[in-house]
A and B are shown apart, each in its own frame.
Chain A
Amino acid sequence: MKAILCSVFAVTALLPAQPAKTPDFTGVWAPFSGGRGGDPKLAPPPAGQLVLKPEYAKPYEARRAAEAEAAKRGEQLATAGAQCIPYGVPTMMAVAVYPVEFIQTAKQMTIISEAFSEVRRVYLDRPQAPIDDVAPGYYGRSVGHWDGETLVVDTIGIKPTVNGYRGMPHSEKMHITERIKLVTPDVLHDQITIEDPVVLEKPMVYTLAYRRMPDYEMVEFVCDNNREYVDEKGVVRMKIKDK
């Protein structure tokens, strides 16, 4: 008997650990930050510090200063968003109060942002491509796998004209790692780590938080009536009609 028990134990010990049951993120989620109706314990931790290499820090700071100066004059300098250019990854993951929808299957996590109807597809359990094989774009190529109950998403191939966190510059070598998990059944966190050997002195880490929106139906968002335009000085203006 003892021998049988010992051998059962030995066989059990040899079996690979059973993977944790993967959670289901399917549903619509509204971004929130601390202080807006949320339990502070569920709010995202403060963002890390953005540290750019000096040659990138200088123009970045100059741009921020120019934006602040323009704001004092009552003007906004041109942005991609004001021209209805999509935000891309990772900014599309939190655009103001617009929700994001997760659609989860065994092989793919599809994420749709209501603002600008942006779509990203995360291929699960597939290898990432070499960076030189991914055409730079707004969404790049994302692959993911489950690490216990956390979805780990790896993204490459975001083109440098797609603005990153708070307008930060980046190169074609940018690599984004997201760790997405439920912190309660109805609160989701997405910890985003941006690495860029060309532009960043150290990885930029920040976390987005979302609350579940049960039964919410996503609203169509096609940017076909953009009255904002950029004038010859690079300032955002609103077109008005004569009648």
Chain B
Amino acid sequence: MKSRLLNVLAAAIALAIPVLAHHSFTMFDTTKQITITGTVTSFEWTNPHSYIEIDVPDEAGAVKHWSIEMGSPSILQQSGWKFSSLKKGDKTTLVINPLKTGLAGGFLNTATLPTGKVLGNGPGRGPAK
């Protein structure tokens, strides 16, 4: 329960803070969370956003490709991400807010790394300590 609350908080902060940096998150359905599990085809540690490209098999074995948007490296590193956190071929489970258009894209809420570590999408840097 606590971690769920933290996730919600992290998502809320992530959504609220980077708005001015690049674009608003209006295109994503933030009322909806879906979970996808698949194989990373590329992890792009880039600006203005980082991306996880991932192949997701359905129950029948058909593979659908998803593009998942994240914060920028500056924002992500504040929540433990590194440029090497994911690699091509890694299996990962992502919780995302899907695009409102229904296309196979979304905004990352959390990722479970192959190590089992769960990372958010950058809680925002906040004031310096």
Q: Which residues of A in the span 33-57 have a Cβ within 8 Å of any Cβ on B?
A: 36-38
CA A79 to CA B22, docked complex, whole Å: 9
Interface size class of A (residues with CB under 8 A): 35 or more
Whether B120 sits at the interface, judged by CB under 8 Å, is: no
B124 and A214 within 8 A (CB): no
CA A79 to CA B21, docked complex, whole Å: 11
Per-residue CB contact flags for chain A residues 64-87 toward chain B (1 = under 8 Å, else 0) read 000000110011100101101000
Given known pairs A30-B128, A238-B99, the reply for A84 and B55 (CB within 8 Å) is no
Q: Which residues of B in the span 20-65 have a Cβ within 8 Å of any Cβ on A?
A: 20-24, 26-27, 29, 41, 44, 46-49, 51, 53, 55, 65
A96 and B17 within 8 A (CB): yes
Residue of A nearest to B75 (CB): A97
Interchain CB contact (< 8 A) of A224 among B47, B66, B103, B124: B47
A96 and B23 within 8 A (CB): no
Q: Which residues of B contact A214 (CB under 8 A)?
A: 128
CA A199 to CA B72, docked complex, whole Å: 35
Whether B6 sits at the interface, judged by CB under 8 Å, is: no
CA A224 to CA B50, docked complex, whole Å: 11
Whether B12 sits at the interface, judged by CB under 8 Å, is: no
Interchain CB contact (< 8 A) of A240 among B73, B103, B126, B128: B103
B21 and A211 within 8 A (CB): no
Given known pairs A221-B47, A240-B104, the reply for A211 and B128 (CB within 8 Å) is yes
CA A32 to CA B128, docked complex, whole Å: 9
Q: Which residues of A contact B49 (CB under 8 A)?
A: 225, 227
List residues of chain B with CB under 8 Å of any chain A CB: 17-24, 26-27, 29, 41, 44, 46-49, 51, 53, 55, 65-67, 69, 72-75, 77, 99-101, 103-105, 124-128
A sample of 10 inter-chain contacts (CB < 8 A) reads A37-B126, A70-B26, A81-B22, A96-B124, A97-B126, A212-B128, A225-B47, A226-B48, A240-B66, A240-B103
List residues of chain A with CB under 8 Å of any chain B CB: 29-30, 32, 36-38, 70-71, 74-76, 79, 81-82, 84, 95-99, 114-115, 186, 211-214, 216, 219-228, 236-243
